Chains A and B, each alone.
Chain A
Amino acid sequence: MKKFQKYLYCGSFLPAMRIASAHAEGFKDQIEEAVNSGSEQRLSLLSSRIEAVFKTNATDYFQYHEQFEAALEKRGQSAVKELRKQMALAMEKQCAQSNAEVALDCFAGKEKVANRLMRTTNSKPELELAEQLARFVGEVRTAIIPGYHRQEVELNVLPPIQTGPINAGMDPKAIADPVARAAYEKAIAENSDRSSMNTLQMVVLPKMDQSVSSNFIRYVKTMVDQNPQTKEQTTRLSALAKLTEQERKDIQ
């Protein structure tokens, strides 16, 4: 996101979006080529490159991952093994709570992977995949702060130190005094953190909890229906997913 903000302050917002989009488009071509080649070596190299992106930019990581998975899914049966591998890699990622802005994109990206995982295997659910889903449900539930209280956020931040004419939402560069400018930039950053946390805790995670948990329960029920031997695993899966007592009853 830092890169994104740099573009924002250097020019207008829309070119920044186009730059990000063009970058993603370039990567998309490389993904298509590697997948179409069917070469294990190229796929492995591509996978390593995408995995490396997660450390620096979770948003880009899940964007590339989605493209990679879509290309693999398009290839059909010949790429099923690789698709499973890639989905498992994405599902292993931990969406850090420390930075709410990153967590927002990380959870959203992971939910897309979970949905693809269920969509591609719904007709024949598997224990290993159910476990991946259970861990994700558990992660979402762990990230939710019970009784979260909405923090004050403003669309346009007021510079905290007035050294001349000021407008809430003015460009920090327009403040000549370095101390006043630094205080304003700090206030903007803190406002952003609070805003991301509000969105994460009050909108994104509650909605995600509702959808992924109900999908997970349905997935496990289908799995047990089709393969009664897996029934003995439901207690363990329920614990991983941090299901409520009622949900545990529903899954039986």
Chain B
Amino acid sequence: MPVVTPPIYAPGQKYRIVSYDCSDAYCETNDITYSVGAVQWDPPLPSKITSTFSSTAYVNVTSSDPALCGNPGRVNIGTVTWNLSPSEITSQCVATTPADRTRTTIGVGEVVNLSLTPAPSCGSVTWTLSGVGTLSGTTYTAPDRAGSATITADAGCGCGKWTKTFSVIEPSGAVATTNGAAAPDTFAAGAQGVCMHLIFTFQPTTVCFSAVQFLEVPGPASNITGYMTRFNPASLAHSPSTTWIGLDESNRPLGQDHAHHAGYPSPWSAGGFDWVIPVAWRVGSGNAKTNLSWTQSVRITDTSGTTSVTKAGASATRTP
């Protein structure tokens, strides 16, 4: 609220001249004062200004003898304009991918910086968290499981309180594409073998899962058919890397997959096996969750040894 100083009207004197027929002019002097009323606003000020507002401050001035010295009446002092942007909690994801860093749906383990802008002109802001995750100062870190979190910025009674809610989601799966940049494996002419290098992208890509680490869980081969039944099932078992692999901000692993099946001797015939691979993931060194899976299928399709491998939507085929 601006400080408005009303004008001061100094007291004065009223003066009149009366003429008589046979004498000198007669002068008469009397005191006169002016009263200045309280500062008023036109239009009146609302109890709370939330956006843009203009008003003119004025006073009413009255004379002690309006008959001889008229009332000055309304005297404008000045016009004040308030341009207020209402404070709100703004947030910015630390991850620069996806491009929308102000999103409120975030991945497990994501970090978000918060601020209250513009800063309220009153009070002292206290930040609190209700729901999942952790809040350190104005930095919110999503937990390692899905949930909802509401951040409150409280500037104190009469000043304001603001909230923002975040939805935390877990990876729902992954899609694989062949890595064209990887040098293909070489096989001797006439030898059975198939290979592909894969790059996974964890879904959805509307959030960042760079806090997530994952690994494929070992397991036996299943659906062993035809040609492959001649081998000891234990020799077909899957025993992938036991080291957790991190993801980048595009939800891609810091490494690629290598699907390579070779050296199966002739005579060939149709047959194959599957690896139904559970996928464990975690945030940081937190507890693992194994709710994802994908399948790697190997098939020799004919007597010429043509072999195909498919995994998470990607595939490759080769004939000796």
Chain A residues with CB under 8 Å of chain B are 4-5, 8-9, 12-14, 17, 59, 62, 101, 104-105, 108-109, 115, 118-119, 150, 152-158, 162, 164-174, 188, 191-192, 195-196, 198-199, 202-204, 207, 210-211, 214-215, 218
Contact = CB atoms under 8 A, between A and B. Distances in A.
B123 to A, nearest CB: 17
20 contacts: A13-B217, A108-B285, A150-B254, A154-B241, A154-B257, A155-B216, A165-B261, A165-B263, A167-B298, A171-B237, A188-B241, A192-B243, A195-B243, A198-B246, A198-B254, A198-B255, A203-B210, A211-B136, A211-B141, A214-B137
Given A14-B217, A199-B213, A165 B288 contact: no
B13 interface: no
B246 A218 contact: no
B139 A192 contact: no
A156 B259 contact: yes
Contact of B258 (A108, A168, A211): A168
A91 B285 CA distance: 17
Given A165-B235, A199-B244, A215-B136, A155 B253 contact: yes
B94 interface: yes
Given A13-B217, A165-B265, A156 B258 contact: yes
Contact of A203 (B211, B236, B240, B275): B211
A198 B248 CA distance: 10
B198 to A, nearest CB: 8
Contacts of A215: 136-137, 139
A4 B242 contact: yes
A22 B91 CA distance: 40
A166 B298 CA distance: 12
Most buried by A among B216, B231, B238, B246: B246
A172 B213 CA distance: 24
